Structure 1
Amino acid sequence: METNINVKKNLDVETIIIGGGQAGLSVGYGLAKAGRSFMILDANKRIGDAWRNRWDSLKLFTPVYLNGLDGMPFPGKRHIFITKDEMADYLEKYSEKFKLPVITNTRVDRLYENEQGFEVEAGNQTFKAKKVVIAMSNYQKPKVPEFVKYINPEITQLHSKDYRNPSQLRDGSVLIVGAGNSGADIALELANERQTYLSGRDVGHVPFRIESVIARYLLIRLVRFVGHHILTIRTGIGRKIRPRVLITGGPLVRVKPCDLIAAGVERVPRVIGAKQGLPLLDDNRTLKVQNIIWSTGFTPGFSWIDLPIFESTQEPEHVRGVVIKKPGLFFVGLNFLYSMTSDTITGTRRDAKYIVRQILNS
């Protein structure tokens, strides 16, 4: 179901929330409870499409009891792992239940200041607001190496963001570049039917099966407690690991190295370039493959924010989501915004509550 509301050009509103995923809806819920004027802009056709548009077999790493937003627990058995489509449908129903003012099919092209506050341009529409919440993750623009243009055009190339299922690939072998969670999950799926190579450093792995009884009822709670309450910007250890987490991401959660070996996935050295149209490995070998999936991460993709708030790393300067240099501007959904869990649903929910309090008190 597509959600939309009628709008007029140059519409003024107290707060604009950019992004209609779990972060934006959580902020919207808090502002709605407080009776404040706001609007949520989302580029997707339907609420939840950021989940729907990921690969078909994806399941969340967290059980049901950790996946609900304020005011509406996720339905069903508490300790099962849901699909990405179930999460997407839940977000759509959440928006409908609380009648949140979401405008879909509205991609923001520019955010800038005016004398009264901020202006947001989206196509032929312009919105004005005193406050803006950018409710989006750091993972907006797919990142691939420069040398992809030298790969033989007969080799199918996809970024993991665009991968859905094996039917998108040519017959024959596949090289997956990037051995994080996405790369490992996709490699395990593809190894069932074709020769699969996986290139990338070992990122480590969670030392237990998340689907096991002890994990679902105990270990996940312990890990969440550490990530949620100890690995934060308020603790020494949290501040120490934060820069590394922002660059390298986390360990493998569901897939283990032994799973990849058992499935016949062949680990190969780092891909450093292209030679005669083929991917070139760090040991000077080339791989003759018919497909390449680039699971090489993302850049923040915030070039549409026309404000001087960014560090050299393209990360916005903020303190727990509050942009000190630009009063009235906030972020929710960023990786390690406050804690190791900030890009999870439970972490996003807590960060959103904090930002709502800042808006109400400003």
Structure 2
Amino acid sequence: MRFDTVVIGGGQAGLSAGYHLARDGRRFVILDAHERIGDSWRRHWDSLRLFSPARYDGLPGMRFPAPPGSFPTRDEMADYLEAYAQRFELPVRCGTRVDRLSQEDGEFVVTAGDQRFEAANVVVASGVWGAPSIPAFAGELSPEIRQMHSSEYRNPAQLRPGPVLVVGASHSGADIAYEVVREHPTILSGTDTGEIPFYFEGRVASMALRVLWFAATRVLTVNRAVGRKLRAEVRGHGGPLIRVKKEDLRKAGVERVVDKTTGVRDGMPVLADGRVVDVANVVWCTGFRPDYGWIDLPVTGEDGYPEQE
């Protein structure tokens, strides 16, 4: 099958691209690996809410159906994406996992199982969350310890009775630690990544968010040195705490240690200061590594991410 454009990924970026391609009268298709539009959001933990208020969460041509200052849940975002694709009749093919993107005789070739798509243009909108990044020594932990990556975590019911070690102290680690401490003694281990100095639901949030939005879209971009520097920092160490702050963690009873988890001794995790942590559960909030090996084109840099402007 030949198209003018193939869009790989049916999340918010892919659907936005589809909206503009449809308006331009292009012949295109959107390929998405999930069985249902929005499933990339539905697979996150149950209590997840967006960090941006609804006024910033709509896609081109369709506002988000919620009060402008509210913070949508993961399911509300997923349902919105599904409704968006239906409203604009976007040609999304779900359950189509792309195996390879290559080029033949000046044309792009996209293969997904036994399906082959040819196109003059390809938009890669599959996101940056490639493969979960978990330290190699995780395999040395005692089999009695239940361990999972943040991408697998849904709610505290998955955990065994007893203490929890959350590894990685960026916003996902803080959010999960804040939730599980209600039922389990919890330690949060990892480098301090800083925090946004106000509550998004607070009185100063509306004006502050406008400033942050302007900075994110006009100043901290990859065509400016400061934006490129920040991108490298976030990719390497994670972003600042957003909704759950350090003081929230302290008041909730989370034991915060800035030492990293560096190894295993006698089946138990060990911190950088040599302390052995006796826990029943480990949640790895250690991010993701880029996984663009399916793109058979010279488009990635030394860090494994696509080179882009």
Moved beyond 6 Å, runs of 4+: none
Q: Is structure 2 residue 22 aligned with structure 1 residue 20?
A: no
Q: Is structure 2 residue 178 aligned with structure 1 residue 166?
A: no
Select the residue among 239, 244, 260 that pairs with 2:233.
244
How far does residue 244 in structure 1 lie from its aligned partner after superposition?
Answer: 2.1
Question: Conserved in 1, the CA contact under 8 Å of 2:11 and 2:81?
Answer: yes
Question: Conserved in 1, the CA contact under 8 Å of 2:198 and 2:204?
Answer: no
Matched to 2:138, the amino acid is V
Separation in structure 1 between the aligned mates of residue 230 and residue 155 of structure 2, nearest angstrom: 34
Separation in structure 1 between the aligned mates of residue 176 and residue 27 of structure 2, nearest angstrom: 42
Matched to 1:96, the amino acid is Q
Q: Which moved more, 1:128-137 or 1:192-201?
A: 128-137
SS at match of 2:204: helix
Q: Identity across aligned pairs (percent)?
A: 50
Matched residue, 2:191: 201
How far does residue 249 in structure 1 lie from its aligned partner after superposition?
Answer: 3.0
Deviations 1:16-58 (A, max 9, x none): 1000000000000000000001100000111011111100000
Separation in structure 2 between the aligned mates of residue 60 and residue 317 of structure 1, nearest angstrom: 27
Matched residue, 1:297: 287
How far does residue 280 in structure 1 lie from its aligned partner after superposition?
Answer: 1.1
Separation in structure 1 between the aligned mates of residue 69 and residue 201 of structure 2, nearest angstrom: 9
Which structure 2 residue ranges, 5 or more long, are not aligned? none
Residues 165, 103 of structure 1: alpha-carbon distance in 2 compared, 3 angstrom cutoff? same
Q: Which moved more, 1:293-302 or 1:225-234?
A: 225-234
Separation in structure 1 between the aligned mates of residue 162 and residue 246 of structure 2, nearest angstrom: 23
Separation in structure 2 between the aligned mates of residue 255 and residue 304 of structure 1, nearest angstrom: 36
How far does residue 306 in structure 1 lie from its aligned partner after superposition?
Answer: 1.3
Question: Aligned pairs, how many?
Answer: 308
Matched residue, 2:70: 80
Separation in structure 2 between the aligned mates of residue 28 and residue 85 of structure 1, nearest angstrom: 22
TM-score with structure 1 setting the length: 0.83
Q: Is structure 2 residue 214 aligned with structure 1 residue 225?
A: yes
Q: Which moved more, 1:226-235 or 1:60-69?
A: 226-235
TM-score with structure 2 setting the length: 0.97
State the superposition RMSD in angstroms.
1.2
Separation in structure 1 between the aligned mates of residue 96 and residue 223 of structure 2, nearest angstrom: 36
Matched residue, 2:250: 261
Deviations 1:259-304 (A, max 9, x none): 1111110123211111111111111121111110000000111111
SS at match of 1:65: helix
